[in-house]
Structure formats: C-alpha cells, structure tokens
Structure 1
Amino acid sequence: MTESGLQGDEQQRPTIAQVRTIVITICVLVVLLGGLFAWRTWRAGSGQAWPQQAVPVAATVLTPREVPASLDAVGTLSGVRQVTLSPEAAGRVSAIRFKAGAHVGAGALLVQINDGPERADRRAAAAKAEFARIQLKRSEELAPTGAEPRELLQQRRAEYDQARAAVNQIDARIAQKAVRAPFSGEVGIRQVNLGQYLNPGDPVATLTALDRLYVDFALPQQDLARLHRGASVNVTSDAFPGRTFSAKVNAIEPQIGEDTRNVSVQAVMPNPGRELRPGMYVTASFVLPPHKDALVLPITAVQTSAQGDSVIVIRGKNARKGGKAEIVPVQTGQRMGEEVVVTGALKPGDVVVADGQLRVQPGAEVKVSRIVPQKGR
C-alpha cells in the first residue's frame, strides 16, 4: 500500500476524543430517560395526578308538583248548523236579495226564481175556491129547510175542499221557487247570477251559523276508558296564538275506526266573537285529572341518543354546589312549553344539569354556577 493510502485511512478513523464524547452523550441520554420513566412510574403508583378542573354548569333541583294532564290531538272545526242552499224547483233566477258575507235572519228571501206561471194558476184556483165557498154557503142555508138534498150539500163541501187543496198545492209550488234561509247565519260567496237557469240542487251559496262550532278529533283506542261525555276540551289555534277556547264533549263514536283504530270524538264549543271558522285545523286537548307529584325538567336537560333519553345528575354531599356527574336514563312524558315530565331512576331533591352538559363526561367533577328555577313553581 502506498503512503498516500495510509494517510487517507488515518484521516477517516475517529479520534479518541470524539469516541469519548459520543459515549458520554449516550450515557447522559440513557440516565435522563431512565429517570423520567422512574418518575412517572412513581407518580402513577402514588396516585398523584394533575388536578382536574371542575366544569361549570347550570342545574335545577327536582321538586314534585301537580301537572295538568290531557290527551292532545289535531281537530277540525265544523258548523253546528251549516248548509249549502239550493232551489227545490227548476227555473230562471229573477231576483237575488242577499250580499255575500252578510248576516241574514231565519226565513229571509235570498234568491227568487221566476214563479209567474204558478201565480197565474193560483189566481185561477183561488177564484174557483171562492165560487165553491159561495155554493157551499148557499147549500148550508137551504139543506136544513129541505129545499136542497143533503147529498148536494155534501157534494158542495167536497168541491170546496178540493178547490182549497188546489190553491194549497200551487202555494207549495210557489214556495219551491224561493230560496230562503232556514236559520240565521252568515251567507257565503254567491254562486248564481241574475237570469241564470237553475236546476234542483244547484248550489246558490253556503249558510253557516258561527255562534256554535263542532270540534272533531280522534284519539287512540287505548284511551277509550278515559273518555266520557261532558268532559272539557281545550282548543287552541295558530291563528290566535296564546288563546284557549273551551268546549264540551257531546258525542263519542261507538265504533272504532277499522283503518286507524282510533276513537272519533266530537265536542261543541261556543264562538261568541265568531272568530273561529269551520274548516280550521286546531289542537284539541282532552282534559284529564292532573298528575300529582310529577317530576318536571327543562327540555334542555334531556339528552337524546341512540340508546334513549338521559339526564346528568350531580352526586355529592352538597350537590347544589357541585359533585360527580352521573348519567341516568329517563323516559319523557307530557310536554308543557319548554318543560317535560320525566320518569326513571330519579327522586325529589336530585340536582340535574340543565345547561352545559355537553362538556361533561361521566364521572367528571362539575361545579354549579347557577340554579335554574322551575317555571311552574
């Protein structure tokens, strides 16, 4: 090997000082890592850990109270007295005597159909009836004296009765040519025009009495035992938010619906202001005896998941200030605005997280920053 090759090998070999530095660095790293591992093992074995921060939440205290109970359903309003007016006889409209939307009294003439021929026939029939009356009167004076036979008196009486019957028959035909209001109420939109030819049954207008209305709704068959006539029904409509109308059950359908298995219920309600109208959809609440000692929570306190509904209860000696978080399954019942009735492994006095539970883990420490009062108390 040449002299220049030997010199290159000597330059690539590390010096003793470099080797010593590398060894010392490795030893120091080993000692540091070993000390860190031993320290963490000791901390874990001694049960010491970094202090956990308590999560601030708003809570409410479960207090039993009396809660109104009801069976709610969607109902429809209809008039106690409502009808579509139509003529009984064919003819041409000769007069219209109502305005759409006006209030009319019972018996008011609304539409007149031409009855000229019938009135002419009546005059002829009335003349015959008058002549028959005169003949009868004469026979009644002569028959007792023997001047006329009694058979002729009976014949005159029969002729007079027939003449009167003919007049009454024509009067009935004339009455069929007039469309009158069968009861007082509000007339709907006019559906005929002057001079229009009408057939029997053609619609003229609707007539509705708005002073009383029916509320028709249906409830599941399992609630049949709770239903009875005379029960109270509270009616609400989105057309009048914040207002409640009262009704009374007047009929319960004796047959259960074959398709829905529901019970049809009808209630009647006064409508003195004529504010509600037939055809409106309403919420009908069948009033039941109130629930006593019910537990009520804000809806925000109930968490819904695939496993069901649950709440977070604070456990501890002074739960009103804070403690451990525990998840408790519950079942929800009747809703009352922003509150809901709950049942489950809860008891009066339990402190339940009402707001902020999304930040709370099971078993975590929580701190009550605010007590939410129950609205019904």
Structure 2
Amino acid sequence: MKIRYIVYIAIALIIGYLVYNKLHGDNKKNSTEQGGGGGKNTKGGKKGGPVPVMVQIVKDTVINTTIDITGTIDPNERVNLISQTAGNITAINFTEGARVTKGQVLVKVYDQDLQATLKQNEYQITLAKQNEFRNRTLLEKEAVSRQEYETSLSEYNTLRAQADVTRAQIARTIIRAPFSGIIGLRNVSPGGYLSPSTSIATLVSTNPMKVTFNIPERYRSLVKNGSKITFNTAGSRKNFTAIVYAIDPAIDPASRTVNVRARAANPNNEITAGGFAKINLILEKSPRTIMVPTQCVVPDLKSSKVFIARNDTAYAVNVKTDNRTDTQIEVTEGLKIGDSIIISGIIQMRPKVPLKIVKVLH
C-alpha cells in the first residue's frame, strides 16, 4: 500500500513539471519572438536616422613648440685671485662680500727690495746715458772709435732693460681687480706669506648671469642667437628671461645634444650663481596653424582622415598631420578655415551618413 502511494506521488510530480514547462516555455518563446521583432524594427530605425554629433569650426591657431629642460646658472665672469709673485702681505684693501671695481688695488705684497733695486738701476742709467752722449759727440769728431761708442750704447740699453724688469716685478706685487664684481671670502691675512699657489679670494661678476643648457639634436635648427628663454630657480618663484647668445657648433656624440648658452640680466642679484634653472624654451611659433582635437583624426593605412559636416551629411577628408600636444594635433593639409569638423560620434562615422548637429563650437 505504501509503495502504491509513492508511485502516485511521483507520477503527479512528473505531470506537474511537464505542464509547468509547457506553459512557461511557450511564454518565453513568444516573448523572444516579440523582442526579436522589436529589435529589428529598432535597429532599422537607428540605421536610417541621423547621427547626433558636435562639430567645431576650423580656424587659425597660434601654436608654440616648447620644451622643458634644466640648466645651470653661472656668473658672467669668475676668477680665483692669486699673486704672480711671492712675499709678505703688507695691505689688504677689500671687504669680504663687497663690490669692487675694475683696477682697484686688492692686495699689496712687500716690494722694498725691488724699489731699492729700481732706484739703483735709475742711477746707473743716468751715468750710462751721459757716457753714451759723450761718446756719440766724440765719434762725430772721430775722437773715439765706433766700437767704443757702441759699447757705451749697449751698456745704456742694458740698464734700461733691467729697470723695466724691476718695474714689472714691482707691478706684480700689486693685485688688482681684473673686472668689476663681488669679491668672496678671503683666504689670506695681513702679514702672511703669499705665494703664487695661494688663493686670495674669488671674484665674480653677477650681472648679467649665464644660463647653460643642452637641447636634443633634432631641435638644433630651431634655436638661434637671439632666441628667448624663460626660466625660474628653486630660490625664487619669479620667472626670469634670458637671450641665447652662443651655441656649440658640435653635437655631443654620447648624449646627442647641443650645448647652448644664454645671458640673463641680474641687476638686483636675484639670480644666484651655481643654481639650477628650470627652463621653458619656445622653439617655434606657427601663427597660421590648424589644430584639431586628437580624437578627430582617424589613422588609415596610407594616411589619416577626418570627417567634416556639409549639408547635414558626413564626408571623409584625407589630411596630413605634424606636431601634437596633449589634446590637439596640427593639420597641415586637407582642411581649410571655416570647415565644420566632427568631434563626437567618430566611431559611427561613415561617408554620406546623415547628421543631426546638436552643438557647434567656435
């Protein structure tokens, strides 16, 4: 009896499953057929309708080709002051960190022995000159031989040359500023012994300053004497300008770069020597250039193309491109001023596709 009830229950479950599957299967099929038909109709509607797009009117654009590089800042002139002679320092005539002028006496070295030698030479020159004059007079009267006269003349000239040597030695005991500038910290003291290997101080000329930097080889033809650069330093938020005045004629074979040097005015000493310069270099300015959004340009096997809108219809135009920025690309051929270039819906664009212009950018 119990087995019979189990069989009845199993048969009922099977029949219920078949009925449920029949009813829901038919509904799903009908829904699919209806959905498929609707999809075809919708697809057909999209295919035949205009594509909504935004367009941009092509116009002239000023484009600057710039690169950001780093450089070093150097003084216009810099020299390590040393003496050409040895001796005790008798005077120091400058203040550390002060401005000095060209020709100003900075240090004086003992020269009393040289002064005495010069005075002795001058006495000997006076006597030799008198002797030369006397022998010249006697030679005219044929009272002395020409050999005697030439001997006295040679003695006179020799003493004059010795005096010139002594004067040169005395001049070397005076250290002067070779140019106007700011003198640094001194390394000597009054009374100390100064030798040619001793550094006295460093003299720098800080106005103007030199900015030296390297540019890639491919930009060499775009940089010329007179080119303007803008830079700033870590010690100041101010932007400074400099003018290129020298370009190395050779390319560094290791880095493939060219050394360039510019001169920056520094009347207020705002630029510090030895610092780094963050440089913005304008390489080229094209006043009549067509720039379009990068996404507008569709690459092709042989060229690139863009789509323009004309009479609410899309047309493909082959173009040639050149410089790029982060968001734009330069078009050198294929477009003209006033064209309406399509900037949205590019993936749906095909030649002769009908358009619905929703926005125009100028």
Same fold per TM (> 0.5)?
yes
- Written as runs of structure 1 = structure 2, the 5 A alignment for 1:14-33 is 14=8, 21=16, 23-33=18-28
In the other structure, the counterpart of 1:119 is 112
Pick aligned residue for 2:167 from 168, 171, 174:
171
Q: What does 1:37-76 align with in structure 2 at a 5 Å threshold?
A: 37-47=32-42, 63-69=59-65, 74-76=70-72
Q: Residues 302 and 31 (structure 1 numbering): CA distance in 2 closer, same or farther, change over 3 Å? A: closer
SS at match of 2:24: helix
Deviation at 1:168, TM superposition (A): 3.3
Which residue identity is paired with 2:257?
N
- Selected match of 2:6 from 9, 12, 17: 12
Distance in 2, matches of 1:85 and 1:219, equals 34
CA distance in 1, matches of 2:60, 2:272: 40
**What percent of counterpart residues are identical?**
19
Per the TM alignment, residue 86 of structure 1 is displaced from its structure 2 partner at its CA by 1.4
Equivalent residue in structure 2 for 1:350, among 341, 351, 355: 341
Please give the secondary structure, in 2, of the residue aligned with 1:350.
Answer: strand
Match of 1:260 among 251, 255, 269: 255
CA separation in 1, counterparts of 2:88 and 2:101? 24
State the 1:180 CA deviation: 1.7
Distance 1:218 1:265 in 2: 6
Contact 1:233–1:284 (CA under 8 A) maintained in structure 2: no
- The 8 Å contact of residues 81 and 203 in structure 2, kept in 1 or not, is answered as yes
Cα distance in 2 for partners of 1:157, 1:82 equals 47
Q: Structure 2-normalised TM-score?
A: 0.66
For 1:295-334, what aligned pairs fall within 5 Å after superposition?
295=291, 333=323
Give the Cα–Cα distance (whole angstroms) in 1 for the partners of residues 90 and 360 of structure 2.
78
Distance in 2 between residues matched to 1:234 and 1:102, nearest whole Å: 31
Alpha-carbon distance change, 167 to 34 in structure 1, aligned in 2, over 3 angstroms: same
Measure how far apart 1:157 and its partner are: 6.1
For each residue in 1:141-178, what CA deviation from the matched residue of structure 2 results, as whole angstroms up to 9, or x when unmatched? Answer: 898598x9698887666555544444432332233233
Q: CA deviation at 1:295?
A: 0.7
- Which residue of the other structure, out of 100, 103, 127, is the alignment partner of 1:104? 100
Deviation at 1:184, TM superposition (A): 0.7
Which residue of 198, 205, 209 maps to 2:201? 205
Specify which of 74, 77, 86 is matched with residue 90 of structure 1. 86
Q: Deviation digits for residues 256-286 of structure 1, max 9, x if unmatched?
A: 3333343434444444444334434432636
Answer yes or no: is the 8 Å Cα contact 2:83–2:172 preserved in 1.
Answer: yes
The amino acid that maps onto 1:119 is Q
For residues 33 and 205 of structure 1, do their structure 2 counterparts lie closer, same or farther at Cα, with a shift above 3 Å needed?
Answer: same
From 209, 231, 234, give the equivalent of 1:236. 231
Distance in 1 between the 2:193 and 2:232 partners?
41
TM-score where L is the length of structure 1: 0.64
Q: Secondary structure of 1:47's partner?
A: helix
> Alignment partner for residue 176 of structure 2, among 157, 176, 180?
180
Q: Do residues 130 (structure 1) and 123 (structure 2) align?
A: yes
- Decide whether aligned partners of structure 1 residues 35 and 137 sit closer, same or farther in structure 2, where only a CA change above 3 A counts: same
Pair 1:36 & 2:26 matched: no
- Preserved CA contact (<8 Å) 1:85 1:206: yes
Letter paired with 1:233: K
Alignment deviations for residues 66-100 of structure 1 (CA, whole Å, 9 cap, x no partner): 32446765443434432221121233444433233
Inter-partner Cα distance in structure 2 for 1:59 and 1:81? 58
Q: Distance in 1 between matches of 2:132 and 2:165?
A: 26
Residue 202 of structure 2 aligns to a residue whose secondary structure is: strand
Q: Alignment partner of 2:42: what SS?
A: coil
RMSD across aligned positions (CA): 4.9
Shifted more, 188-197 versus 178-187: the winner is 188-197
Distance in 2, matches of 1:127 and 1:107, equals 29
d(CA) in 2 for partners of 1:242, 1:60: 38
SS at match of 2:239: coil
